[in-house]
Structure 1
Amino acid sequence: MDERIKYFVGLDAHKDSVSVAACEASREPARFVGTIGPDVRVLLKLLAKAGDPAQVSVVYEAGPTGYGLYRELCRRGYRCEIVAPSLIPRRPGDRVKNDRRDCARLAELSRAGELKAIWVPDEAHEAMRNLSRAREDAVGMRLKARQQLKAFLLRQARRYPGKTSWTKSHERWIADQRFDHEADRIALAEYQLAVQAAEQRVQRLTIALTKATQEWRFEPVVAALRALRGIDTVSAIGLVAEIGDIDRFSSARQLMGYLGLVPSEHSSGNSIHRGSITKTGNAHARRLLTEAAWSYRFPARLSRNLRDRSESVPEVVRDHAWKAQVRLCSRYAHLSSRGVQVNKVCVAVARELAGFVWAIAHQASPATSSIH
């Protein structure tokens, strides 16, 4: 515990209210101060009563309100931390949960040093993450619009004879459909317009995301990750935006744990039991890695597209990416030959892929490059 800290403040922040509790650096229990509105100026007046901002530590749970409160408190000189709700210790016998108790519990745990703060991105990094997630949402809306159009055609017993949907031939087949009733013709046209608008939205966001990367300090990391099979520009940007500064992970195993790709464990004494993956941490990055792992079901080879993406990266990164491809393709084939379910195979490959992502990103990160 920092000896300069005299007061520990716990906040239970919501959209319309903030509950405040505080405790001193002694062993006295935390006391509930009160509930205020979401205006940060009111909170600052309340914290000013504690004295020098350097002697006050503030902590609150991560939530939908973002990092605005954190940044404002840090600018005013307060030591502020944000903690993940899933990592807050809970008493087994505690069956009463409310805002008053939550903020008091946070203040006491902060004083005891039992809380682990999350990494908070700067405003530029958060902007890239927001743009990446906006594109991800647009892709989801495009998928929904496509499903609605296909469901409409299926209700009319119109089944596409081809194998792959949403190709040019598939779109021509949809455009050639004819209906007797005017209402059906209007419905088809509206579904087509919805799919077209969703596709255009995805394309606009993709262009904006690629353009924004050119001025980003992690652009070398994005370029290096593109040398990996299954990771293109968009997925590389998404991984870097979600993971953040790779140097905060001292090992690849830490990154795997952060992404929730490691097995859960319930062991006691001589009994060891491991279950499914923990699925903790960043779900967006975990999904990107699992999708990339699917491409390793084919034998290892350097396609023309992969060679083009790897031309601008250092030779050591290309060698590492090829080593990753050889190992992961072999790993995928080995697990599949044993009859392991395909989703479990992809998760196992994604876990090892996270290790190669850590190694390549660590070599290309701006901090590491400046050291060398």
Structure 2
Amino acid sequence: MTKETRPLVVILVHGTWAKEATWAQEKEALSNALERIEGVKIVRFNWSSWNRFTTRRKAAQELAEVIKEHRNADQFIIAHSHGGNIALASLKEDESLVKGVICLNTPFFTVLSRDNKFFLNYLFGIILLMPTFILFGLWISCNWHWLTLFAGGILNLPFIPLFIWFTDTWVPKHTAFLRKQLELPVLKNTPVLCLTTPDDEAFGWLGLLESISNIPRLLTAQWIIIVYISITSLLLIAGILPIIAVPWEPWLTSCEKPDNIFATYMLFFLSLNYYIYFSYLVCGIATMPFSLLLQGISQGTWMLPFAGVLHRIVISLVPVGSNSIEFFEKDVAGTGIKHSLLYKDPETIKFIIDWINRQRGV
């Protein structure tokens, strides 16, 4: 069968929360235009449309099976919104079965690597600080000897090998796994047409979620941590040296609380330092849901809440890395949200039909 006589199959993929979307049904503008192409077969791919990462991954696997069923045809995928991410993910194993992908208002996920060294040091510092702070508080309030402060440091020693294992082995392994699950495949040969509208509400919303989910990372810039650690170290040394110079007897379990300004100073400083760490931790935990909302509430991998910590998930207008991309932005008039106007626009529909014919060489 020659290239010109190969049958044409167009697969329509709806987006999130749009099961059996109207635009993909019969007698709608896009379907009517496609049906005027001689010998075309329209396949309407319906998935559950839930905004979950695992749901979209499952849908991509099912779409890949649909594509294999029509391997002897010229296949094109027209997808709206997150349907575009599903379409690209379905081509992870074999992109050669599809001649082109058309994405309407699709917010593509791009997963960028992060240097987690300083973030992990900062986060782990909270854990190391807690027993020291608690023991020092007991000394001040219960008249325990200042040796408890030193004991707090000793108690932290077992955390060191655990921290080394955590940062050198566990984190890289699970970070690589998570990225593999999240990132879209890079299409080397399949053309991708990306059409969008200005001021798309979905891009604005997802961009806001992305910014919020990155708030904890803004506080872990290398220079901020170096300056903060330097200042706190100097203050700690300045406060603790006069205290350890006070005579003490190692065999005593307690003694009178030192009645001097240094004890007050140390309690205030450690309290302030502790609450800074604690506030940062609360901020990090509080913003995790935004990372979940960005990628979709997930089931099946507990690592996804940490996606915004271990990676930076960016929303882009095109699938980054793919070799053959065409991008057009068109301002479409009409009522309703701008995110759902392109597939109704006559000029856009004509452009899509012409693009399909051009890819087929017709």
TM normalised by structure 1 equals 0.26
Which is higher, the Rg of structure 1 or of structure 2? 2
TM normalised by structure 2 equals 0.26
Q: Highest relative contact order (Cα 8 Å, sep 6+), 1 or 2?
A: 2
